[in-house]
Amino acid sequence: MRPAELAAIRAGDIDVAFRRWDRPRLKVGTRMRTAVGLVEVTSVDRVPVSSLTAADARRAGAASLTALRQGLDRVHRERPVYRIGLRYAGTDPRQALREAVPDAAEIEAIVAWLDRLDRASPTGPWTRATLLLIDELPAIRAPDLAQRMGRDTPSFKQNVRKLKERGLTESLDIGYRLSARGAAVLDHEGHPRPARGRPEPEAGLPLPHIGAPATRALTAHGVVRLEQVAELSEGEVQALHGVGPYALGRLRTAMEAAGLAFRDDPGTRSQTS
């Protein structure tokens, strides 16, 4: 699902999707981890194309019934159509896990788990080296990190996903960063961490997930916090190459939740006048 569709599911504006499958590929009750949190499958039903309505198109986020049918006919027209019921099921539980600093018993359990991964690896130990690399080079593309470790990108990403499952790392729009949980494990083992010598990050609210192109566009202009976005007009942000409607909407939503607004927002002018 595209980022805009995920955002609409979280907002409740989309609650179904239609797919051409040779057989059902999702089960009712499945919870999928996405960029906006958990999305739960509430139903999976085979439906004839002739039964689709304009209401179905609206619920799926399509521009029209014609657009929905055209999208379904684009590939695998010979396959049946399935309607998948969807709902937003809350934040990803790994988010809370990342932020929870483990106690001594938890750290010992994590260390034992990392040791098992290293012993089972046909290419040798990798867990600490990967954590240290992400700590040293946050927000760097996965292919670049994989190259630094002498690994191919798919296997490197697979390993990072294992660490992410335990809340030790966090995916960013570009690359990864070490979580508080991951830092606690490295500190417990006494690993030298370059991040210890870094200055404290600038205070403020981080940018929401807006996609790699938009993140690159803003960071290239030194904008890494929502408070800095609020110093710009909406037109200035929109003019940056890589910032599209989805990223703009995500920024606007995040700023509204934080009580911020674009510099040229009418509400901002009225509040400051």
* pLDDT tens by residue, 29-56: 999 988 788 999 999 999 999 999 999 9
Whole-number pLDDT of residue 9: 94
Q: DSSP 3-state assignment of 60? A: coil
User: Does the pTM exceed 0.85?
Assistant: no
Amino acid at 85: G
Split at pLDDT 50, 70, 90, the class of 131 is: very high
Whole-number pLDDT of residue 202: 55
* pLDDT tens by residue, 202-226: 567 888 888 888 988 998 888 888 9
Q: Check pLDDT > 80 for residue 130.
A: yes
Whole-number pLDDT of residue 207: 85
Whole-number pLDDT of residue 197: 55
* pLDDT tens by residue, 61-115: 999 999 999 999 998 999 999 999 999 999 888 777 887 889 999 999 999 999 9
- Report residue 262 as tokens: 């674009």
Residues in the chain: 273
Cβ neighbours of residue 176 under 8 Å, at least 6 residues apart? 134, 138, 139, 142, 145, 160, 164, 169, 170
Q: What is the mean pLDDT of residues 236-250?
A: 92
CA dist., res. 126 & res. 157, Å (int): 12
Dihedral sign of CA atoms 143, 145, 148, 152 in order: negative
Tokens 């483990």 found at: 102
* Cβ neighbours of 258 (radius 10 Å): 13
**In DSSP terms, which residues pair with 85 in a beta bridge?**
16, 43
* pLDDT tens by residue, 157-169: 999 999 999 999 9
Whole-number pLDDT of residue 219: 85
Tokens 């981890």 found at: 33
Angle at 110 between CA 109 and CA 111, to 5 degrees: 90
CA dist., res. 169 & res. 180, Å (int): 9
Q: Check pLDDT > 50 for residue 269.
A: no
Whole-number pLDDT of residue 201: 52
